[in-house]
Structure 1
Amino acid sequence: MSADPATVRAPKRWRRATAGYNPKPLKLDFRQPYIPDKESDKTPEWQKTGRYDKKLFGRYGSGSGVDPASLWPSHEELEKLIAEEREWHPPLEVLLKNIEAKQKEETQKRLAKEKLIAANMAKMPKMIEDWRREKREGKQKLKEEKARKAKLLAEARERFGYNVDPRTPKFLEMVAEIEKEEKKKKKLLKRRLKEEQAAAPPAAHS
């Protein structure tokens, strides 16, 4: 069973140590206001500021020993306060002008956006037609390439007597030779047409 803490006595050595302890009373007079000594080095710096003087005067009034004239803001501080007041609390006329300017800016942005959308919508039919044309041309080109490849493979099979892999050097050499012959034929055809046009009699004028 545990003993009651209230009835437990401290050890003798503790009683002997505390028997001679007699603390000195603090020299605090709560009837008098605490006025810091600004000339003393022991006084904290924050108790030497004008802000603290305002607190003292607000609490103790004339009993604080603070000169009320010193609490008024200086000329520079007053100008700063006025500037801040204008910035954070502008006159009604300025507020209305700011609101009007903001509304005007938002209207201009909205009109510019609507104009851009209208321009893009106007371009849409042409863009769709261009896309369809490119798609048709791409399909036609792919179809022509497949037909040309099939024709070259058939010609290679006829020339060599067996199916040729289109990736082999033999097939590539044959293709280069055929392309060279085609260029030569086109060149001769172009020259012949030019000669025929030069030999034709000029058209009679009415």
Structure 2
Amino acid sequence: MWPRALPLALLWAVHVARGIPSVYLVDDSFGNFLLVKGATLSEATFNVSSDSLCTCRAQCNAMIECKAASLVEDVCSLSFSGLKVSTFTEHENASLMMWNTTLDGSFWLGGDRRLYLTLSGMMRAGDAMAKCSGFPGFRLGVFSSLESMAVLKEFFDRDGSMVTVDLSPSDVWGDGVPYDQENSLFERDIIPGYNFAILNGNLTQGFRGTRVRLLCQADLASP
């Protein structure tokens, strides 16, 4: 279920803080999509001239293979690449649009009102943090509230694969909130290792080479 989405025309004028991409869910005549203000495609299949974000969106929508688009001034960059191989760059005056489902991944809204990104297949746990940071506005997931813990539990129960999370061996989540067993749906199981992940209902430490499911997280911005 998508949240109450913002009209595309409204987001066109939203101010972007320098160096901090802002993530929105937007609704227009073509349907809902992800908008990141302050980021652009690093590599595009090709560029076309566009007079507005709406026009750039429509130009991508007209092409079946178009997976993402970004606009910087009057240049609309279109990409046919999937989420796994796409690369992005922070840019103060740019707007990046990505569709919520592709062949190799998807975006979805959790019950904690945070946006989540997951890619198909498995990857090394040691690469997960850098991979999530490569998507502008996203990070490796932190689950310091019961609402976010419930999202993580739902994802694990549905997928059944180990999911890596941003919890340090010193019991601090990536957002600086200390780990609190009373605010957790998972037991904390300490074994020698590098990073924490969810496995069989426990927060357990695994090794960098452990194969895990990637679950990235972003906070939705306010207009």
Q: TM-score range by the shorter chain?
A: under 0.3
Normalized against structure 2, the TM-score is what? 0.18
Decide which structure has greater strand share.
2
Does 1 or 2 have the higher relative contact order (CA < 8 Å, sep 6+)? 2
More helix by share: 1
